[in-house]
Amino acid sequence: MKVKMSILFLFLLIFGTYSIFGIVLYTYPQDAIPKYFKLGDDLSGLCNDIIKALNSELSKENIKIEYKSKNPLTISEIFNALEKNEIDIFIGAAYSEDRKDKVQYVKTPLYGLREMFILKKRSSNVIHFSSLTRIGVIGDTVTSKSLPNIFNKSQITAFKNINEALKALDENKIDALFYSSIVLGYILSQNPNKYEKLNLVDEKYYHYVVLSKKVNNYVSQKIEEAIKSFHKKGTIASLINKYKLQDYVLPGNVVEILTVDWKPYEWYDEKEKIWKGFDVDTVTKVFEKLGYKVVFRTLPWERCLDAMKNSAYDGIMSLRINDERKTYLVFPDEPLSTGYDVLFKMKNKNIDISSLENIPSNIICGYSIGYAYGDWFWNAKFKKEPVIDDVTGFELLKNGRIDLFVCNLLVGKSIAKDLGIENDVEYSKIFSEKMIYYVAFSKNFHGTYLSEIFTPELQKFKKSSDYENILKKYGLTLKDLQF
């Protein structure tokens, strides 16, 4: 018995703060509802509930989280305490480049949220940004440092906490308040007739478990395993619903990916109300194996790219790599799929498309805005007309408004079939190199992590019978997508 106790003592001495109960990780609550509420001498709130769930899950490892004090502190005070090893852990903080070398972040996020503006309810439905000249923020937060550049910094007021900021908003000392959707969304849900939000798609980011540098890898790993287990069981999702935050906060295992109709790679089935396509099925299956759930969103392609420049979503598919996109996107090492671009024309058009040199310079060729075509297309001497998407391009082609349209071969054949003109169109030989398509991620902490874990899982999945079955479902084989 003495030998066993000595081993336990040595284990605790190596792995963290120790007591007769095991490893104790001390924390502070934050002065931020609904993450933490002070109820008399007790605490409540979303992150407090997560601590309770973690304690239940980690009890079998003899790890426990305890409050060093129940007096709420600002996020700046909490990070100072972590950096000084005054506390060991904090539940519910955004990643910060300024803090990454001073603390540890558990890479699996707790929940995703967005930046958000709220203002006092107005009688008019039209709100002009130009009228919002005085903006309130919460000082020393990640959100306060990412306020859009359209606002003059001299007109920004930093407040210590949300209560001070709301008071200033109520007293018309500021025009709007800019902060995270978890806090402002909760305030909106509690005061629907008092405040309203601006309908903007702002940057998406995540809250994590943060550890002091002294906490070892063993404890960090057990916490990460617990968070993954919560996502699998729906624990975090249930807590989000408990606090009526489902319109403002998503569980950390939900990956939002932007795409457009690009059949057979990806498209929205209006009848079944689901996204389909061999790229859709592949991405969904790979993320399922990683413990994530994919939610597909759609916008016009140019707006998809603009949204990703603002890190408004987690990822975008299917697209090629180019230097401009690499400035705001992270591309995994493994491509998702391949294809070839060709020129389509109506058979009744007397245009020789057997070679680019044979196409007269007065011929008009349509192309989709924002798509990355090869140099062969841009260097061709014919005229180039931008259109909003591939379907519009084929409709213009059908109606004789343009002479040619450049499109991915598989996509073009699919659109022609859907429009009932598959027997009326023909396409050129392949002038381009093979197009390599990727799912790319936001160039931030979480996007980089998703890219890292996605690559090996996709490589493994492509060697499976499940992948071959997906291709077969859409009338394709591995040979059609040789990499």
Under DSSP, the state recorded for 176 is: E
3-state secondary structure 95-152: CCCCCCCCEEECCCCCEEEEEEEEEECCCCCCCCHHHCCCEEEECCCCCHHHCCCCCC
β pairing state of 22-27 and 435-442: unpaired
Residue 314 near residue 256 (C-beta atoms within 8 A): yes
Positive or negative, the Cα torsion across 357, 358, 363, 368? negative
pLDDT band at residue 10 under the 50/70/90 scheme: very low
Helices marked H in 23-111 — which ranges?
46-58, 75-83
- Confidence at 208, pLDDT banded by 50, 70, 90: very high
Give the β-pairing of 42-44 and 37-39: antiparallel
pLDDT tens for 394-419 read 999 999 999 999 999 999 999 999 99
- Which DSSP symbol is given to 363? -
pLDDT in tens, 237-271: 999 999 999 999 999 999 999 999 999 999 999 99
Tokens 């002091």 -> residue: 212
Is there a common fold for 253-336+440-481 and 341-427? yes
CA dihedral sign of residues 301, 302, 305, 310 = negative
The pLDDT of residue 17: 55
Q: Residue 260: helix, strand or coil by DSSP?
A: coil
Residues 341-427: name the CATH superfamily.
Answer: Periplasmic binding protein-like II (3.40.190.10)
For the segment 67-91, the average pLDDT, to the nearest whole number, is 96
For the chain, the average pLDDT equals 91
For 309-320, the pLDDT digits (tens) are 999 999 999 999
Q: In the chain, where are the structural domains located?
A: 2-105+209-250, 111-205, 253-336+440-481, 341-427
Strands 254-259 and 315-319: parallel
- Across the range 166-189, mean pLDDT stands at 94
Distance, CA of 350 to CA of 88 (rounded, Å): 75
**How many CA within 13 A on the CB side of residue 312?**
16
CATH number at 2-105+209-250 = 3.40.190.10
What top-level class would CATH report for the domain 253-336+440-481? alpha beta
Q: For 101-142, how does the pLDDT look when each residue is reduced to its tens digit (9 = 90+)?
A: 999 999 999 999 998 999 998 766 666 666 788 999 998 888
**Do 368 and 390 touch, CB atoms closer than 8 A?**
yes
Give the pLDDT score at 202: 80
Region 26-41: mean pLDDT is: 93
| CATH of span 111-205 | 3.40.190.10
Which tens digits make up the pLDDT trace of 361-383?
999 999 999 898 999 999 999 99
pLDDT value at residue 164: 94
Both tokens assigned to 261: 């109709």
Look up tokens 């008092």; give the residue.
194
Q: What percentage of the chain carries pLDDT values higher than 70?
A: 92
Stretch 208-230: mean pLDDT, rounded? Answer: 97
Cβ atoms within 10 Å of 370's Cβ, excluding its own? 17
Model pLDDT, residue 6:
46
Continuous segment of H or E residues that includes residue 431: none
Average pLDDT over residues 180-206: 90
Angle at 274 between CA 272 and CA 280, to 5 degrees: 135
Distance CA 304, CA 368 (A): 13
Q: What band does 12 get if pLDDT is binned at 50, 70 and 90?
A: very low
